[in-house]
Chains A and B, each alone.
Chain A
Amino acid sequence: MQVLTILAILAADPGQLFVEKVQPALKRDCLGCHGEGQTISKLDLRTREGMLKGGARGAAIVPGKARESLLYRLVLNGGAQQMPPGKHLAPDVVTALGEWIDGGAPWKEVGGGPIWNFAEADLWALRPVKKGMLRLPAGSKPVDARTLVRRVTFDLTGLPPTPPEVSAFVSDRSTDAYEKLVDRLLGSPRYGERMARYWLDVVRYADTSGYSNDFERPNAWRYRDYVIRAFNSNKPYDRFVREQIAGDELYPGDAEALIATGYLRMGPWEHTAMSVEAVTRQMFLDDVTSSVGTTFLGLTTGCARCHDHKFDPIPTADYYRLQAIFATTEFARPSLPFLAVENVAHIAGERAGMVQVRDRTKAMMDSFGDTKRPDFPPEQYEAFKVYQKHLALYGESLDRYEAKAFAVSSGPRDGETDGGGTLRYPKRVDYRAPEVHVLIGGSVEARGEAVTPGVLSAVGRYSELKAFDVPTEVAGRRAALALWITDKKNPLTPRVIANRVWQMHFGKALAADANNFGKMGAKPADAALLDQLAGYLLDHDWDLKGLHKQILMSGLYRSVDVAPRRMEAEVLRDSMLAVAGELSLEAGGPGVFPQINEEVARQPQHRMGTLAPPYFPSPERAQRNRRTIYAYQQRSMADPLVDVFNGPSLDLSCERRDSSTVPTQAFALFNSQFAHDAALAFAARLEKEAGTVEGRIVRAFELAYGRRPEAEELKLSLEHVARMTRMHVAQAPPAVKAAKPIVHGITSELTGENFTFTQMQPEVKYEANLHPSQVSAATRALADLTLTLLNSNEFLYVY
């Protein structure tokens, strides 16, 4: 409610009215005749002075008196002299104009000069970082060792500590026991996988492009692995940023840096016969401009696309200057040999499998004969279209096995395709840097003033980072931006990342809106502390692991004051597999296909009026059960388990996961085949690792909770197993069922009738999970216990 009140006040602020309504209307409807190129009736409405001076008929405005202002009168009801001629401005614009004049007609120059009224508090993020001794809060009282080891292990690896890891820490009496633990975890390859998840949330990583075809981005996985490696090798953050924005320009010949530029193309993108080329290109430019602001600077630059930013000192011209930096950025998919650190172990085998499916598809297509003949039956044409679409999809997907980079280049593209659609953007011969204009209202059809590439003026105005030249040549624009963002005087960059790191450990960032450090974002709860953390990075060569360690060693982190957190979806899935003994820790490589809800896997997937092939989980168990970060991320189809546990949209930058509770989560965890399979594997593991029912229960608690059961829990658990054993002895499990053919329906565009299509199945042997019919009643009873443990609050919450 408070926010609404603030907005209401702002709406009446004449300065805001000018920025939001008056000036856009002037540009759109007035300046064509009175200012830009011509000044009919000697009236120039481009400046406040021009308005006061007026034209042949006198002053256009009388500040404070709308009703006496000619401009207002003619716009309101000019009769024969109605302005603009033959048109009435929208009522809200007219009202705004009146209120603006009544409010004194304050002028806010677009593109220069201090234009917004800010309290100093609103500008905190733009002011220089006040470095200082890092003094972290002490916390009220230390948490017990068992809770601490679980907390820090989940925080740094996204996985539960194993029972030996727990007992080793709990029994280690040395004074540096905890520090050794933190160092070990920071050195674990699981650390990079955990940190990468947060980063990929922010940049919206996906393996597909979204929209109608949702074509694969065949080499995007190399970017995902690059991010994991960057965190694991503790790449200095400034270098990490520079590589993603301008790796190709700043570090030519460096393969990692070229892969890193895939970041610039992470947004959804598609160009089809139905899209307008200029619009598609503009979508990319808007996406990347806004993504850079959000990801690295914590500024919602996207708001300035259509109008000067309502709340932050980002004029529209700044937005388009920033965008002009990317005007010469073209998609590229250059050849780039696989690196020794990349996982290409499965590539040959997987490619052979897909080639086979593609060839079968091709053969099916050929069997239709001449589909172009006029009497070709439309009903058959639908089936032909499905194969045709499959062929296109396989064509893109096969490229994931090619040694190419999903990257960009400055100027003419390097490599032949965009990876986003079959219709290619035209190649550019004699490449010249396109001229960039402010687009009025953000529309490609309404060009305003021309702008040159540049950085955000507000940073120069309020911080110590002064003027920064961006070249106007084709190359070097992004390099300049990257250097500006990572300049040690840029106050935003270190604050933004320090704030994100804090959030990883406490669930809530110091400045709670990690993507928005502007006026409307939450102010930092402890600005001095945030600056100290940012200062630590500046003084320690942007050492992220060092920063983590500082935070983790603090009294606060080791205290009972840390709020409990429900596991994120990926942590939950990985942890279920880990305690079940099923998790495969193989790292890297093209996306794998986990076991997902079978109905979703088998449901028809619509692609441009026809059908995609169904989802087939990876046939090898070890591949299905890889960590979730390695799962193929398809924009149009999320893993329902991840989705229901608040997985973010892959199209929006996610600064922080929601963890709200909904009843469908109970269905996913209590009823899904995945949960039941994990529970059964967990039970089978317990039987291997302990000889008695009691021993197995104890082991289950140690694995799932990191502790032994209390007497009351043990009693309840023993009773439960006994009861469930009786039930299972009396009831035989269902037999394994043969897989059914996948018959899909879709409404035909050609006939308007439903049409069915039987999908091809891969000719590979599927390594099935353990099935209840393969185990004893006792194991099935134990699986009821493990299923319930995996559903319990203690398993899902990290304290």
Chain B
Amino acid sequence: MSTKFSRREFVMSTTVGLNPLMLAAAAGQPHHEAKAKRCIFLLMEGGPSHIDTFDPKPKLNELHMTKFQKDRTRFAAAMNTGERYYVRSPFEFRRAGKLGVEMNSLFESFSGVADDVCFYRGLKAESVNHPTALYHLNTGNQFGGDPALGSWVCYGLGSKNPNLPGFVVLPDVAYPQGGAANWSSGYLPAQFQGTPLRAQGAPVLDMAPPEGVTEQRQGANLAYLRGLNAMHQRRHEGHAELAARVESYELAFRMQKEMPQVLELEKEPAHVREMYGIGGKDKDADAFGKRCLLARRLIEAGTRFVQVVAMGWDSHDYIDKAHGARIRAIDRGIGGLIGDLKQRGLLEDTLVVWAGEFGRSPDNGIRRGAAAWGRDHNAAAMSVWMAGGGVKRGAVVGATDETGLQAVETVHPLKDFHVTLLHLLGLDDNKLRFTHAGREKQLSQVGGELIRGVMA
């Protein structure tokens, strides 16, 4: 097995003999010219607090532990009823980059790349329930079952390397709420489904045969299979699916050979691994950094859309501890990823997105004593950021009110975010449609507007 390969060689060697199975996908063309050709989506599952990360609210220091009044009696969830109090952020904030964007001081590495990032504070979700909000963010539909953003992007742009899945998910230790439906291809053909790469065991399910099955034995079975299928095909000429199915076995076994090479993070030089926080004392930072580095290797090798998941942002209690640990876990990974993409010239044509399913509330129904305060769910305000191809550099767009309860400036619903992300990747949501059960369907469901402010 070759130990070293340049990106060019890798892509060249694997696109030879493009198979009919993937032809349709590979033929995808953008609707308009766009800088970004691929996307890394950093999914922060649980709902990171905008107030404690990228949208500090000093007003809460004054209001701390004063009673909070909400005018939402009829349509309140049980979570948001009862006595509630404003709570301040337990964190220090720093100013980063030329613009002096405020962010939690625990973002050390990431603050160094602030000038390459566009922070957007005007986004609104709809659901305050994790799985429905996650489905909404990932698939455009709160109810689940529709194709994921990554599936749409692969459907629109096709595959660059037929030997690798076009849409890869790098899950955290457990799957997010709502499970694999978060990266389902829905009604789109199965090849657009997100493939989760596992941290342990075979990276792709059943990619490796059971223990004791040697390559030699597998090869012999494959040869026998070819023989049987060839004889069968002679009796059923004109049945095109048969050839595609024969080819799928060849493709599967090319994938079986190539995938492990992409996964070999040890091949990366020590200084690169260190950039991502790999090998440090913080085990969570090490694991997240590895996923970020793997995301870079995957997009280099031709994967179109990689979703990296970091869980555990649902800090109803002990937000100081919980968010603190989460931020430490992702800081080097996200900072390293953007720095590394930039130094390789990949940031130009890669879109990087960081988002959770909703933001958090400025108030809390103190449950476990005042020392343990946290924040509840808030769909009316959140912070997301983008970097890379087609995105404004070093900018803050949109704003929330003085307590962080509501987005008030450049406010857009999630569907507009989806339309914008597709647009940055050269796709027009209104053209990127698929007829299912006699209905024309699209990611935004009903169309949306571009969030022009975030675009370069």
Q: Which of A36-44, A332-340, A398-406, A510-518 contacts B (4 or more CB under 8 A)?
A: A510-518
Decide: A752 near B325, CB < 8 A? Known: A212-B130, A274-B77: yes
Inside 8 A of B283's CB, which chain A residues have their CB?
A: 754
Nearest B residue (CB) for A717 = B224
Q: Is A799 an interface residue (CB 8 A)?
A: yes
Q: Is A584 an interface residue (CB 8 A)?
A: no
Q: How large is the interface on A (under 10, 10 to 19, 20 to 34, 35 or more residues)?
A: 35 or more
Question: Contact between A671 and B212 (Cβ–Cβ < 8 Å)?
Answer: no
Question: Contact between A788 and B236 (Cβ–Cβ < 8 Å)?
Answer: no
Question: Contact between A516 and B312 (Cβ–Cβ < 8 Å)?
Answer: no
Chain B nearest CB, measured from A782 CB (Å): 12
Question: Contact between A649 and B144 (Cβ–Cβ < 8 Å)?
Answer: yes
Q: Is B76 an interface residue (CB 8 A)?
A: yes
Q: Which of B179-187, B335-343, B418-426 contacts A (4 or more CB under 8 A)?
A: B179-187
Inside 8 A of B225's CB, which chain A residues have their CB?
A: 788, 791-792
A662 to B166, CA, bound (A): 12
Decide: A747 near B315, CB < 8 A? Known: A274-B130, A274-B377, A753-B325: no
Inside 8 A of A749's CB, which chain B residues have their CB?
A: 46, 312, 314-317, 322
Which residue of B76, B229, B252, B371 contacts A793 across the interface (Cβ within 8 Å)? Answer: B229
Q: Which of B5-13, B200-208, B345-353, B383-391 contacts A (4 or more CB under 8 A)?
A: B200-208
Q: Which of B243-251, B272-280, B398-406 contacts A (4 or more CB under 8 A)?
A: B243-251
In the complex, per-residue mask of B186-220: 1 if CB is within 8 Å of any chain A CB, else 0? 11011101010010111011111111111011101
A599 to B144, CA, bound (A): 24
Inside 8 A of A734's CB, which chain B residues have their CB?
A: 211-212
Which residue of B205, B325, B438 contacts A751 across the interface (Cβ within 8 Å)? Answer: B325
Question: Contact between B249 and A638 (Cβ–Cβ < 8 Å)?
Answer: no
Question: Contact between A564 and B236 (Cβ–Cβ < 8 Å)?
Answer: yes
Inside 8 A of A713's CB, which chain B residues have their CB?
A: 228, 231
A793 to B249, CA, bound (A): 11
Q: Is A666 an interface residue (CB 8 A)?
A: yes
Q: Is B266 an interface residue (CB 8 A)?
A: no
Decide: A274 near B128, CB < 8 A? Known: A513-B438, A749-B314, A772-B212: yes
Chain A nearest CB, measured from B33 CB (Å): 20
A793 to B74, CA, bound (A): 59
Which residue of A300, A566, A727, A750 contacts B216 across the interface (Cβ within 8 Å)? Answer: A727
Q: Which of B83-91, B167-175, B295-303 contacts A (4 or more CB under 8 A)?
A: B167-175
Decide: A658 near B74, CB < 8 A? Known: A606-B177, A676-B210, A713-B231: no
In the complex, per-residue mask of A779-799: 1 if CB is within 8 Å of any chain B CB, else 0? 000001101110111101101
Q: Is A354 an interface residue (CB 8 A)?
A: no
Inside 8 A of B131's CB, which chain A residues have their CB?
A: 210-212, 270
Question: Contact between B437 and A651 (Cβ–Cβ < 8 Å)?
Answer: no
A566 to B244, CA, bound (A): 12
Chain A nearest CB, measured from B147 CB (Å): 10
A493 to B21, CA, bound (A): 39
A784 to B204, CA, bound (A): 23
Question: Contact between A649 and B181 (Cβ–Cβ < 8 Å)?
Answer: yes
Nearest B residue (CB) for A732 = B212
Question: Contact between B245 and A374 (Cβ–Cβ < 8 Å)?
Answer: no
Chain B nearest CB, measured from A105 CB (Å): 23
Q: Is A80 an interface residue (CB 8 A)?
A: no
Q: Is A585 an interface residue (CB 8 A)?
A: no
Number of A-B contacts (CB under 8 A): 304
A521 to B172, CA, bound (A): 41
Q: Is B369 an interface residue (CB 8 A)?
A: yes
Q: Is B263 an interface residue (CB 8 A)?
A: no
Q: Is A597 an interface residue (CB 8 A)?
A: yes
Q: How large is the interface on B (under 10, 10 to 19, 20 to 34, 35 or more residues)?
A: 35 or more
Which residue of A423, A638, A661 contacts B248 across the interface (Cβ within 8 Å)? Answer: A661
A727 to B215, CA, bound (A): 12
Chain B nearest CB, measured from A464 CB (Å): 25
Question: Contact between B175 and A566 (Cβ–Cβ < 8 Å)?
Answer: no
A600 to B196, CA, bound (A): 11
Question: Contact between A7 and B440 (Cβ–Cβ < 8 Å)?
Answer: yes
Inside 8 A of A746's CB, which chain B residues have their CB?
A: 173-174, 311-312
Q: Which of A189-197, A253-261, A275-283, A411-419 contacts B (4 or more CB under 8 A)?
A: A275-283
Inside 8 A of A716's CB, which chain B residues have their CB?
A: 224, 227-228, 231
Chain B nearest CB, measured from A485 CB (Å): 20
Decide: A750 near B132, CB < 8 A? Known: A210-B144, A611-B174, A649-B181: no
Question: Contact between B438 and A752 (Cβ–Cβ < 8 Å)?
Answer: no
Which residue of A303, A515, A606, A660 contacts B191 across the interface (Cβ within 8 Å)? Answer: A660
Question: Contact between A275 and B77 (Cβ–Cβ < 8 Å)?
Answer: yes
Which residue of B204, B213, B241 contacts A667 across the interface (Cβ within 8 Å)? Answer: B204
Question: Contact between A753 and B284 (Cβ–Cβ < 8 Å)?
Answer: yes
Chain B nearest CB, measured from A774 CB (Å): 13
Q: Is A712 an interface residue (CB 8 A)?
A: yes
In the complex, per-residue mask of A369-393: 1 if CB is within 8 Å of any chain B CB, else 0? 0000010001000000000000000
Question: Contact between B239 and A444 (Cβ–Cβ < 8 Å)?
Answer: no
Chain A nearest CB, measured from B240 CB (Å): 10
Nearest A residue (CB) for B371 = A374
Chain A nearest CB, measured from B27 CB (Å): 14
Which residue of B173, B246, B324 contacts A604 across the interface (Cβ within 8 Å)? Answer: B173
Inside 8 A of B318's CB, which chain A residues have their CB?
A: 378, 750-751
Question: Contact between B129 and A211 (Cβ–Cβ < 8 Å)?
Answer: yes
Question: Contact between A649 and B74 (Cβ–Cβ < 8 Å)?
Answer: no
Question: Contact between B201 and A748 (Cβ–Cβ < 8 Å)?
Answer: no
Question: Contact between A273 and B174 (Cβ–Cβ < 8 Å)?
Answer: no
A4 to B440, CA, bound (A): 9
Question: Contact between A747 and B173 (Cβ–Cβ < 8 Å)?
Answer: yes
Inside 8 A of B195's CB, which chain A residues have their CB?
A: 664
Chain B nearest CB, measured from A799 CB (Å): 7
Inside 8 A of A676's CB, which chain B residues have their CB?
A: 209-210, 213
Inside 8 A of B371's CB, which chain A residues have their CB?
A: 374
Question: Contact between A651 and B144 (Cβ–Cβ < 8 Å)?
Answer: yes
A651 to B186, CA, bound (A): 10
Question: Contact between A752 and B329 (Cβ–Cβ < 8 Å)?
Answer: yes
Question: Contact between A275 and B211 (Cβ–Cβ < 8 Å)?
Answer: no
Question: Contact between B220 and A604 (Cβ–Cβ < 8 Å)?
Answer: no
In the complex, per-residue mask of A70-97: 1 if CB is within 8 Å of any chain B CB, else 0? 0000000000000000000000100000
Question: Contact between B77 and A276 (Cβ–Cβ < 8 Å)?
Answer: yes
Chain A nearest CB, measured from B226 CB (Å): 10
Q: Is A668 an interface residue (CB 8 A)?
A: yes
Query: In A215-273, which residues have CB < 8 Å from any B CB?
Result: 268, 270, 272-273
Q: Is A733 an interface residue (CB 8 A)?
A: yes
Question: Contact between B284 and A754 (Cβ–Cβ < 8 Å)?
Answer: yes
In the complex, per-residue mask of A558-569: 1 if CB is within 8 Å of any chain B CB, else 0? 000000101000
Question: Contact between A663 and B440 (Cβ–Cβ < 8 Å)?
Answer: no
Which residue of B132, B229, B317 contacts A211 across the interface (Cβ within 8 Å)? Answer: B132
Beyond contacts A211-B131, A278-B74, A600-B205: 12 other A-B pairs, Cβ-Cβ < 8 A, are A566-B241, A603-B175, A635-B179, A643-B180, A652-B145, A661-B245, A668-B206, A731-B217, A749-B322, A754-B284, A785-B224, A793-B246
A-B pairs with beta carbons under 8 Å apart, 19 shown: A3-B433, A211-B132, A212-B177, A270-B131, A283-B143, A300-B437, A521-B438, A566-B241, A604-B174, A662-B21, A666-B248, A671-B213, A733-B212, A750-B318, A752-B312, A752-B322, A752-B325, A791-B249, A797-B239
The 4 closest A-B pairs by CB, nearest first: A747-B312, A752-B325, A521-B438, A516-B438
Which residues of A are at the interface with B, using a C-beta cutoff of 8 A?
A: 3-4, 7, 92, 210-212, 214, 268, 270, 272-279, 283, 300, 303, 374, 378, 423, 444-445, 513, 515-516, 518, 520-522, 564, 566, 597, 599-600, 603-609, 611, 635-638, 640, 643-644, 646, 649, 651-653, 655, 658-668, 670-673, 676, 710, 712-713, 716-717, 720, 723-724, 727, 731, 733-734, 737, 744-754, 772, 784-785, 787-789, 791-794, 796-797, 799
Which residues of B are at the interface with A, using a C-beta cutoff of 8 A?
A: 21, 46, 74-79, 128-132, 143-146, 172-181, 184, 186-187, 189-191, 193, 195, 198, 200-202, 204-214, 216-218, 220-222, 224-225, 227-229, 231-233, 236, 239, 241-242, 244-246, 248-249, 251-253, 255-256, 283-284, 287, 310-312, 314-318, 321-326, 329, 368-369, 371-372, 377, 431, 433, 435, 437-440, 447
